C-alpha cells in the first residue's frame, strides 16, 4: 500500500470514531503522509461573549488537523502537548482552514506545525508534540 493510501485509510478509520470533530462540523479537506487539512465554519453556537469565534474551538480545529497528520502513518498517535498562538479574531460564518505539517518525526515522537487561516489571513498557529502509543489504525 502506498504512503498516500495509508494516510487516506488512517483518516477514514479515525473519522469514523471522531464524534467531537464531526459534531463541530469539521471536514477533512486533504490528508497525506505527515499532513492534513481540515476546515470548519464558525457557527452561531461558536461565538463567545465578545462576538468573536471562541478560541477553544479554533484550538479544537487545529488539534484535529494535528491529530489527522500525526496519525497518517497508520500508527496510533496522541498529543503529548500543544501550544497555540492566536493572531487574529475569527467571526461568525468565517471558514477556518487548518493545515498541519510534520516538522520532525523520530522514533515514537513527532512535532507538527498547524496554521489556521481565514482566507489568506493567519488567525492561529499551533505547535503540537505527538507520541505513538502502539497499535495500528488499520487493524481489521
**Residues 6-34: tens digit of each pLDDT:** 999 999 999 999 999 999 999 999 999 99
pLDDT given at position 140: 58
Task: List the domains of the chain with CATH numbers.
Answer: 3-136 (3.10.129.10)
**pTM for this structure?**
0.95
- Cβ neighbours of residue 26 closer than 8 Å, sequence gap 6 or more: 38, 39, 40, 61, 64
The mean per-residue pLDDT over the stretch 117-126 comes to 98
Give the integer Cα–Cα distance in Å for 111 and 69: 10
- Given a contact cutoff of 8 angstroms between Cβ atoms, the answer to whether 69 and 36 are in contact is yes
**Residues 32-82: tens digit of each pLDDT:** 999 999 999 999 999 999 999 999 999 999 999 999 999 999 999 999 999
- Three-state DSSP at 124 gives strand
pLDDT given at position 9: 97
Amino acid at each position: 500500500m502506498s504512503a498516500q493510501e495509508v494516510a487516506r485509510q488512517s483518516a477514514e478509520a479515525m473519522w469514523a470514531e471522531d464524534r467531537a470533530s464531526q459534531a463541530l462540523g469539521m471536514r477533512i479537506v486533504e490528508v497525506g503522509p505527515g499532513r492534513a487539512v481540515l476546515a470548519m465554519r464558525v457557527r452561531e453556537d461558536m461565538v463567545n461573549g465578545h462576538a468573536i469565534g471562541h478560541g477553544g474551538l479554533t484550538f479544537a480545529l487545529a488539534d484535529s488537523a494535528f491529530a489527522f497528520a500525526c496519525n497518517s502513518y497508520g500508527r496510533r498517535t496522541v498529543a503529548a502537548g500543544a501550544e497555540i498562538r492566536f493572531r487574529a479574531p475569527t467571526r461568525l460564518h468565517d471558514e477556518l482552514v487548518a493545515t498541519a505539517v510534520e516538522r520532525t518525526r523520530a522514533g515514537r515522537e513527532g512535532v507538527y506545525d498547524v496554521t489556521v487561516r481565514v482566507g489568506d489571513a493567519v488567525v492561529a498557529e499551533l505547535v503540537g508534540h505527538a507520541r505513538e502509543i502502539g497499535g495500528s489504525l488499520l487493524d481489521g
